[in-house]
Structure 1
Amino acid sequence: MAEKKTTHKVHPAPVWLTADYVQEKLRIYLKDSSLKLAKMDTKPAVANGGNYGSVMTRINVEYTTKESREKQATTFLVKTTFADRDPAGDILIHYGVYSREMDIYESILPQLADMVRKELKDPRKLFAATMNVDRQRDSIIFEDMSREHYKVACRRKKLDLEHTHLVLEKLASFHAAASVLAERQPGIFAKNYDRGFFNKHTRAYGPIMTNLLEALSRSLSSDQELGPRYKAKIDRLVERLMDYGERSTTNQPDDFLTLAHGDLWTTNFMFQYDDRDHPKNAIFIDFQFSVWNSPAIDLHYFFTTSLQDNLRFNHQSELVQFYYYKLVEALKKFKYSGRIPSLFDFQLQFRSRGFYAVFCSLVFEPVMQYEGKEDASIEQAISNSESGMRFKDSVYAPEKIKKKLSVVLPFLDQFGLLDEM
């Protein structure tokens, strides 16, 4: 069944994205100066659930070359920053997301992909190939993976065990390769990789998270079952969310660290399927919030936002174990010389990052599931206008969200994640 039309704001293609510009970049990418663009059109490329952190445009092109006069067709995706002082851009600029992602696509991902292919002997793609990085225009052009029949999973149905295991296997390869790259090239992640959603440099995301938590609190006021048990805890959390978040993501001396994706949910990975409709590969996209931290933050984010409820609430420890064994296997193949934690230590590290599941569960996941009529955007989340308040209140209004909260709140509470920390 087709999903409802998204209510997220759609931005037009940037004015500088002309045929001449694309032709020049395509010539460089394909190493063919004879290439001539015969046709080009652009349209917004918005993944299911929207994209809060950038403007996405799909380019469809037809071209000829000296060796092949017949027209060839291909498509690319262009990722650019928000323009004209969009409130989202005003917030995201504090996190260095644009320069970091350009660094990642230009230099980090090609190295990681090469390591996985050559040293893990895994020929499957891990990321989309980068066509061009333009720092003057804060833009990235990369291959459109839909041409190879990759697609995003349904954010509402979420992932079953088969899809989950595949993502965890590929995530372990990504994390292992990044840790080894840092070992081989000391300092490669020292600059601009310390600004995840929680960090010591900025709290620009704070109003978004606390405004939505306040909306959750308002919804609990009229909930006779959950309100008496959890409203006071949510009210206290509004004041301390950013403190707890920063504390829970501060790296400790004995932590195993890597380049965490940082925003790992269904819209940010894609699956390729075999003839029997089983997933045979998964790739990762969107690295704006990648951060040097524990891989546990990726696991919490992934489990919270992307797994079917039975897996999330009843099988987390088993899934952590599955990921851990894949990680260790990859590290050993890479001949990693650092300390590999025991499974017991890694499970403790996972629990120590548990607060990451709180904001994902109570703020991000309800927004990701939003199907209301109001425009869903960062601007709405920070606005106290009538429309902004309606949006935030409507996030927690659906019966399916209330039903989910009746499971999520006790689940978080049993670990002490809603108490004073």
Structure 2
Amino acid sequence: MAEENFNADELTPPEWLNVRFMTQVLSGHEKDSNLKVTNLSFTPASAKGDHYASIMFRAWVEYTAQNGNYTKSLIIKTMPVEEGIKKDMFKDSPLFATEIGMYSKVLPEWERILRTAKDPSKLYVNCIYHSLRPHQIIIFDDLVEMGYAVVRDRFLTREEICSAYSKLAKIHAISMKFIHEQPEYLSEFKNGLCEMPGLMDSSIINGGMAPFTAMLGRIPELNKYQPHFEKIRLHFKDRLRETMQEYRHHPQPGYNVLCHADYHSRNMMFKHNRETGCLEDCMLLDYQGCNVAPMAVDLMYSIYMLMGPAQRRAELETLLNYYLSSLLETLKKIGYQGSMPTPQGFWAEMKRHRYYEFLLLSTFLPVSIGLRTHKLDIGDMLHNKETHKKLYELEDFIEETKSILARFQKSRYFDDL
């Protein structure tokens, strides 16, 4: 893959990521003080648009140990050394601490509970090393070596989406059991969208509502929705905060779970049988933003960042009902003693937290279409005002907006704004 397909800050690893460091990591992991790394090389581990809050490298390591010579491929996630937008925005964030907590504490326990319930599902890739100081870093086994791949050149199939929803439902279900029985277990997972330093006041959040509302005024078929969004834009961030912080500050009856919070198609990998092409597994990745919040947060996000346009138009309700059936099945399997979610309650929750979906439609969807369909650069879309403005002129975005707003109208999203 050509260099221009990678993030520039992933072309050269930081100086401290060297033979000495990797020797310490592997000797500690394998409990072999005589282990020596004999060869080490790095390549970027992800393509442009795969992630935004860190940098990732694939390390090919050759080493000698007590029992012989070995090679190993590892994925290394860390923060950039050079000053820039990415480092400035995320340097003080809790992202790495949250992900370390997920891989070292939560996900192993979640899997243990599933095994007790005779469910063999794998929820995470093995993490061999993590640290917050002197460098924020997490090192994983390489899923590519196990036959997994990110889907890049197409939208996910219905089967792939259902597989991803099944994994999410299991994580949500077990978290519901903990929230009901021992909520203090998840008390550290409290850093959602609104707690990220500066994010609520960033161009990412603030940049979409005004051009979206202006677009509604330009398109005759959409004129009738413009007054709603003129009203929404006055206080949508306050309502968004209410959704994201509800569990911690103003608990309401509803369906709270440990949300993934960045549940999109580039944060999962799929394994297909090499001979038949049949789907064998889905592995969720990037647990940096996990926090306890309404389950609608993950599901609304998935509508715009997991589904393709055809699925949003024709299969949205079917796919979300599949998630709900998987959730209920897992809750029963693990002996959940709280009130079971109902279809009526589920869709009522989606409507109650509709301000988050207003943000996703007006701000995230045009960027997603620009990235996935038109192959635009994500940095350019987010930080170049002219490029960002043109997103709201894309014909496919306008057509999707017509369909989505009709759904909002049918679901009475505009009542009592």
TM (norm. structure 2) is 0.86
Write the letter of the residue equivalent to 1:258.
V
Look up the match of 2:378. 376
Q: Does 1:79 align with 2:66?
A: no
Closer/same/farther in 2, CA of residues 374 and 7 from structure 1, 3 Å limit: farther
State how far apart, in whole Å, the 2-side matches of 1:13 and 1:413 are.
50
Whose RCO is larger (CA < 8 A, sep 6+)? 1
Write the letter of the residue equivalent to 1:87.
I
Give the one of 88, 91, 107 matched to 2:89: 91
1:265-414 alignment runs, 5 A limit: 265-274=264-273, 275-371=275-371, 375-377=377-379, 381=382, 383=383, 388-414=384-410
Partner of 2:234, secondary structure, is: helix
Displacement after TM superposition at 1:132 (Å): 0.7
Closer/same/farther in 2, CA of residues 91 and 30 from structure 1, 3 Å limit: same
Once superposed, what is the RMSD of the aligned Cα atoms? 3.0
Structure 2 spans left out of the alignment, 5+ residues: none
The answer to whether the 8 A contact 2:44-2:58 is kept is: yes
Displacement after TM superposition at 1:43 (Å): 2.0
Partner of 2:354, secondary structure, is: coil
Partner of 1:187, secondary structure, is: helix
Give the one of 172, 177, 186 matched to 1:175: 172
The answer to whether the 8 A contact 2:351-2:413 is kept is: no
Write the letter of the residue equivalent to 1:86.
G
Q: Name whichever of 326-335 and 397-406 sits farther off.
A: 397-406
Closer/same/farther in 2, CA of residues 5 and 240 from structure 1, 3 Å limit: farther
Look up the match of 2:256. 257
Write the letter of the residue equivalent to 1:54.
S
The answer to whether the 8 A contact 1:320-1:347 is kept is: no
Which portions of structure 1, spanning 4 or more consecutive aligned residues, are displaced by more than 6 angstroms? none
Write the letter of the residue equivalent to 1:255.
G
State how far apart, in whole Å, the 2-side matches of 1:396 and 1:360 are.
14
Q: Does 1:109 align with 2:114?
A: no
Closer/same/farther in 2, CA of residues 63 and 106 from structure 1, 3 Å limit: same
Write the letter of the residue equivalent to 1:178.
S
State how far apart, in whole Å, the 2-side matches of 1:3 and 1:167 are.
30
Partner of 2:370, secondary structure, is: coil
Partner of 1:39, secondary structure, is: strand
The answer to whether the 8 A contact 2:272-2:279 is kept is: yes
The answer to whether the 8 A contact 2:6-2:44 is kept is: no
Displacement after TM superposition at 1:265 (Å): 0.6
Write the letter of the residue equivalent to 1:247.
E
State how far apart, in whole Å, the 1-side matches of 2:200 and 2:81 are.
18
Displacement after TM superposition at 1:145 (Å): 0.7
Q: Does 1:132 align with 2:134?
A: no
1:127-276 alignment runs, 5 A limit: 127-136=124-133, 137-154=135-152, 157-182=154-179, 185-191=182-188, 193-198=189-194, 204-217=200-213, 219-220=215-216, 223-226=218-221, 228-249=223-244, 250-251=246-247, 252-274=251-273, 275-276=275-276
Q: Name whichever of 355-364 and 90-99 sits farther off.
A: 90-99
Closer/same/farther in 2, CA of residues 201 and 84 from structure 1, 3 Å limit: closer
Displacement after TM superposition at 1:261 (Å): 0.4
Closer/same/farther in 2, CA of residues 41 and 394 from structure 1, 3 Å limit: farther
Displacement after TM superposition at 1:129 (Å): 1.1
State how far apart, in whole Å, the 1-side matches of 2:47 and 2:392 are.
22
The answer to whether the 8 A contact 2:163-2:282 is kept is: yes
TM (norm. structure 1) is 0.85
